[in-house]
Chain A
Amino acid sequence: MKKFLVIALAAFCGPAMAHEMSPTYVEFGPSYVDNVLKTDIEIFNRREDVNYYQIEVYDKDWKSISFVADTKIVNLKYLEKKTVDVYIKSNDKDRAVYVCTLSRFIKEDVTKTNVSSRICSKVK
């Protein structure tokens, strides 16, 4: 019984790795530049195997929308949390529907079948 418990605990206490992003719904508001709107997202990296997350903005048909961020590929160490400002043109306000973060791997670090994670917030 003890052995079973130890095995069960070992199985469930394995290194689960997570990608988190909030908020669920983002709102673009005015920025310090005319005709440019801003929102911010928070990314939390609980994936030991990932150190980079790419920011993406899409319309309702999942077509890319141009945007500016402090950096489009965010370097996040394990268990690090970062808030990133995302800017779009005010003309694109009604087109932008999703703001996403996608985990990125460094090619030489990829040695086995892996899971790429993407989380998308919806624009209010």
Chain B
Amino acid sequence: MFKKVLITMACLSAGTATYANPVIRGTVASKCSVYTTTQGVYGNPSPDVLSTAAADGGVQPIVRFDVAIGDYYYGKITYPTAFTSSPSLTSSAVAWTGDVDVSQVTVPAMSAYTNDVVTYDNTYQYDLTEAGSTWFKVSSEATYGVNQAFPAGSYVATVVAECIAK
């Protein structure tokens, strides 16, 4: 009797396994990720200049924005106008310049970001209308006073990359 019950149960479970349809579910939600692809380095081409330009011995920081669905976020990048840490110096005597530009895209339509950028102060705001990845390169240059040399030491400045939901 017990054997019969076992056989019936085994058949039933085997039948169930035969008809089971494994399902893989996934959802793509709107999401933004900010990647730091390259950390910047200041070159010191002359005593009074710190620059991220390759020609000046520097490295431009590169930031990547990934958006899962287009038209949900603004990407804002702000180049520095002050040192986060540095040797003691008269900050008002430092003149800052900078620029942000699209350096690489995964969707051709993203090339339009360069022309559609909104700039204010030292911030560049991009409307991330396309899904995918966009790389932005940031340049920064600090010039110290008139014919004044930057004191020896370590200089650090911060680029701010923001992803703001619309």
A residues apposed to B, CB below 8 Å: 14, 16-25, 46-47, 49, 98, 107, 110-122
Contact = CB atoms under 8 A, between A and B. Distances in A.
A122 B63 CA distance: 22
Nearest to B50: A113
Given A17-B35, A118-B163, 17 more contacts: A14-B38, A16-B37, A20-B34, A24-B31, A24-B32, A25-B165, A49-B36, A98-B164, A113-B42, A113-B61, A113-B140, A113-B155, A114-B39, A114-B158, A115-B161, A119-B32, A120-B165
B41 interface: yes
B64 A118 contact: no
Interface residues of B, number: 38
A18 B33 CA distance: 6
Q: Is the interface of B mostly helix, strand, loop or mixed?
A: strand
Contacts of A112: 39-41, 156
B66 interface: yes
Given A98-B164, A112-B156, A114-B158, A19 B33 contact: yes
A76 B85 CA distance: 24
B72 interface: yes
